[in-house]
Each structure stands twice: as structure tokens, then as C-alpha cells.
């Protein structure tokens, strides 16, 4: 049912719009029969991990899909980031946005590399290349850009800074599988680009990740590192970890890879539905790729709103409470900002002073559910909730408080 009045809102006593929770990042899944057949083969072979045939096939297919020389598949995106940083011999300080998922910073801090938080550009939500340059010190070894929402960073500006200051440039491309920057696939930029294939991502292998690179020596080092540093049965050449993907995950990945086009069609249609439905609601800006950067090749994985409280009359947090009551599990990414989470908050208490745009965004951004399980009926209902809530914006906060519902 599309909500029409204040009394329809579940937060104020109405019936929830959805019986079951509608999540951001519900997994996109490919053909079940193909998956089951692959899993049967894995069980028949009794080859569950350690460079099995499906992992090798996935690496080859991904490299072809991305148009890159190497795609080193790993157990998840966080370990892939750690291995990439280690294989690039990063140390000292690395400049990174705070407006990202916490794993980007953890992968550095875990290895006692200092993440130096940089602000983002207000339009793209991506690392601000100008501030990057101001943050370079003699201890800086790299810039780690994040292609937030699958919208590529300003690769050209960052490459120039990296070259000028003699730094490594790498990217956290966890959101950007299947995206392009000026016609070239993400996966080809900097020294390496790291993907997450977590269940919530556009392309998933349940858990998984990869590092794409055109650097042969770097790829070889990462292959050793993801397998404990083994160069032969009894020989270890350097410190390594366990970054291997299992055959079971590779089976999920290969199967999903065959359905990418179907996923994309569905996500693109959802984005357009949201665009149409939300266009007449004041105070909501649907974030879009910066023109010229991504062009047509964008995976449409995230539906991201900026909520302007002065226009909506209701805060992003109260809007979130209203949506959750309807079983719409909208998310406040990347609230409160990595620099406000521990251990970063205590280690780098001054960081917030140079992050005004990050701090503003963490108070404004709201991510809505999409994916192959969401269609126009769900989007109409979600837009209806937002329309009613914003039409009565200022009335809602006191009503929520009187029901003991604070902004989440």
C-alpha cells in the first residue's frame, strides 16, 4: 500500500509497508541450477581450496572482464587491501578518505601504517585531490583513493599528485566492479585496484575480493603472500597470510559473473524509478555519477540520497527511523565517519578539523534498498513514505519523541 497520510506511517501507529525487512545490499544471485552443478563438481573433486580449478577460472574470467593483466582473487576485500598495501611495501603514512567503509582504514592501521584522513569533494563524495597534496609529508608513501558508490575518483588529478610527489597510488574499488572512468574499466588505474566481492556487492562470491593490477611482479608477490609466502612445498620466501578464496566461493562468483547483465538491467531500472519518483520531493538529492567521469558504465549498485534538513523539515536520522518502522532498512553511510570511530578517534583527534565536507555528508547521506529483489512496487512504496514524511516534516520529530522513538 502506498502511504498517503501521516497516520499511515508505521512509526506513528500505521501498518508497516513491508512484512519482511528490505535491506540495502540484498545479494544478487545468478542461476541456481548452474551454481548447484558447480558445487556438485567441487564436492566430486574434493578440491575445496588452494588454487583449485574454479578459482583459477574465476581469475582468468575476471581479468578478461576488467581488461587487466592480473586479477588475484582473495578471501575478502579487507585482506585483499592488506595484501596489496604490504606487497607495495607501504609504510609510514597513507592518505585516505574518512568517507569510506571502515575496512579501508583498518587495512592500513592493522599493519601500523598511519591513515591520514583526507576530505572529499562535495559533488562526487570522493577524495579531494587538492587536499591530498596538502597532506603529503616526508613519511607519506601512498594515496589510497576509494571509488565511493562506484563513481570513480578523479584518477587524472590523483595520478598527477602521485607522480609529482613520488607516491604509490592504489584504489579501493570495492564499490566499482563493472564501472569505468573515461571509457576505461576500473581495475586498470594506479598500481593496483582492490575489489570486494562481499554478498552485498554488485558482483559477489558470498565472501571474496581481488586485486587487479597490470604489474607482473606485484601480482607474483601478492600470489605468494596470499598463500603464507610458500614458494614450494617446504619453502617460504617471506611473511604471508591466508588470503585464499575457497572453491565454494569461486563457484558462486563464476555463476554470478554469468548474470551480470541481468543484475545491471534490474539495478539501472531501479535507479531510474527512484529518480522519477523522488524528483518532486523537496530536499532530497539523488546522488549521480559526476558527468564525464563514469559515463555510461556504472553499476548502479547504490541509491544514495542527500537529505537537506532545511528543505525537508525532518532530519536524516528521523527519516531513517520512519523508514525502519516500515521495514525499509535504509542506511546512514558512512556515519559517523571513520575518523570518529575507534581507534582513529583517539589516535587522530584533530582529523575532523580538516574534514568539513565529510562531516556534513555523514549527517546527510541515506542509502536506500535496491538490487534484483527490489522492483517498481517497492520503490513506489518507499517514495510514498518519503513523500508523506517530508510533506509533514516538522510535525514528525515531536511525534516520534512522544512515542520514545529518537532519530536512530
Ligand X SMILES: Cc1ncc(COP(=O)(O)O)c(C=O)c1O
174 makes contact with ligand X (CB under 6 A)? yes
28, 98, 104, 320: which one binds ligand X (CB under 6 A): 104
| 70, β-bridge pairs | 213
**372 scored as a contact of ligand X (CB under 6 A):** no
What is the Cβ-side half-sphere exposure of residue 172, based on CA atoms within 13 angstroms? 31
Q: CB under 6 A: which stretch of 23-31, 74-82, 303-311, 371-379 binds ligand X? A: 74-82
Q: Nearest approach, Cβ of 151 to ligand X (angstroms)? A: 12
Q: How far apart are CA 251 and CA 248, in angstroms?
A: 5
Residue 198 C-beta: closest distance to ligand X, Å = 4
The residue to which cell 543484475 is assigned = 263
Check if the beta carbon of residue 338 is closer than 8 Å to that of residue 232. Answer: no
Looking at 25, 42, 58, 78, which residue binds ligand X (CB under 6 A)? 78
3-state helix, strand, coil in the chain (%, to 5): 40, 15, 40
Residue by residue, DSSP assigns 36-55 as: HHHHHHHHHHT--SSS-HHH
Q: Which of 17, 103, 224, 250 binds ligand X (CB under 6 A)?
A: 103
C-alpha–C-alpha distance, residues 239 and 237, integer Å: 7
Hey, how many other C-beta atoms are within 10 angstroms of the C-beta on 347?
12
Q: Say whether the peptide bond before residue 334 is cis (omega within 30 degrees of 0).
A: yes
**Residue 335 is a binding residue for ligand X (CB under 6 A):** no
Smallest distance, Å, CB 131 to ligand X?
A: 19
By CB under 6 A, tell whether 205 contacts ligand X: no
Number of residues in contact with ligand X under rule CB under 6 A: 14
CB of 126 to ligand X, least distance (A): 11
Q: Examine residue 209 and tell whether it contacts ligand X (CB under 6 A).
A: yes
Cα of 39 vs its chain's centroid, Å: 28
* Contact between 196 and ligand X per CB under 6 A: yes
Between 84 and 379, name the residue whose CB sits nearer to ligand X: 84
Instruction: Report, in Å, the least distance between residue 110 CB and ligand X.
Output: 12
Residues 6 or more apart from 138 whose CB is under 8 A from it? none
Binding interface with ligand X (CB under 6 A): 76-78, 100-101, 103-104, 146, 172, 174-175, 196, 198, 209
Amino acid at each position: 500500500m502506498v502511504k498517503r497520510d501521516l497516520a499511515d506511517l508505521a512509526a506513528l501507529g500505521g501498518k508497516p509497508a513491508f512484512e519482511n525487512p528490505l535491506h540495502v545490499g540484498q545479494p544478487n544471485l545468478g542461476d541456481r541450477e548452474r551454481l548447484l552443478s558447480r558445487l556438485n563438481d567441487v564436492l566430486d573433486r574434493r578440491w575445496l581450496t588452494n588454487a583449485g580449478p574454479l578459482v583459477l577460472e574465476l581469475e582468468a574470467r575476471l581479468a578478461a572482464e576488467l581488461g587487466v593483466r592480473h586479477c588475484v582473487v582473495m578471501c575478502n576485500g579487507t585482506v585483499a587491501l592488506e595484501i596489496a598495501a604490504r606487497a607495495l611495501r607501504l609504510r609510514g603514512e597513507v592518505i585516505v578518505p574518512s568517507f569510506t567503509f571502515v575496512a579501508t582504514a583498518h587495512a592500513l592501521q592493522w599493519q601500523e601504517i598511519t591513515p591520514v584522513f583526507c576530505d572529499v569533494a562535495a559533488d562526487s563524495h570522493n577524495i579531494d585531490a587538492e587536499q591530498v597534496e596538502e597532506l603529503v609529508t616526508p613519511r607519506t608513501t601512498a594515496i589510497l583513493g576509494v571509488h565511493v558508490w562506484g563513481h570513480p575518483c578523479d584518477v587524472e588529478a590523483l595520478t598527477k599528485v602521485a607522480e609529482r610527489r613520488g607516491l604509490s597510488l592504489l584504489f579501493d574499488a570495492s564499490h566499482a566492479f563493472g564501472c569505468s572512468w573515461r571509457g576505461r574499466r576500473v581495475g586498470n588505474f594506479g598500481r593496483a585496484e582492490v575489489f570486494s566481492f562481499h554478498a552485498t556487492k554488485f558482483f559477489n562470491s558470498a565472501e571474496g575480493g581481488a586485486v587487479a593490477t597490470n604489474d607482473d611482479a606485484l601480482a607474483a608477490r601478492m600470489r605468494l603472500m596470499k598463500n603464507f609466502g610458500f614458494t614450494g612445498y617446504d619453502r617460504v620466501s617471506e611473511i604471508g597470510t591466508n588470503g585464499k578464496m575457497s572453491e565454494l566461493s569461486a563457484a558462486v562468483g563464476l555463476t554470478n559473473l554469468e548474470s551480470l547483465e541481468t543484475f545491471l538491467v534490474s539495478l539501472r531500472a531501479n535507479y531510474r524509478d527512484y529518480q522519477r519518483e523522488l524528483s518532486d520531493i523537496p530536499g532530497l538529492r539523488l546522488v549521480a555519477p559526476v558527468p564525464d567521469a563514469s559515463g555510461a558504465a556504472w553499476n548502479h549498485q547504490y541509491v544514495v540520497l542527500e537529505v537537506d534538513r532545511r528543505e525537508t523539515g525532518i532530519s536524516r536520522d528521523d527519516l531513517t527511523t520512519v523508514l525502519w518502522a516500515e521495514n525499509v532498512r535504509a542506511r546512514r553511510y558512512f556515519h559517523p565517519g571513520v575518523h570518529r570511530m575507534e581507534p582513529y578517534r583517539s589516535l587522530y583527534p584533530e582529523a575532523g578539523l580538516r574534514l568539513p565536507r565529510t562531516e556534513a555528508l555523514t549527517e546527510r547521506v541515506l542509502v536506500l534498498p535496491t538490487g534484483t529483489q527490489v522492483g517498481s512496487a517497492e520503490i513506489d512504496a518507499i517514495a510514498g513514505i518519503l513523500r508523506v514524511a517530508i510533506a509533514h516534516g516538522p510535525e514528525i520529530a515531536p511525534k516520534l519523541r512522544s512515542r520514545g522513538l529518537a532519530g536512530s
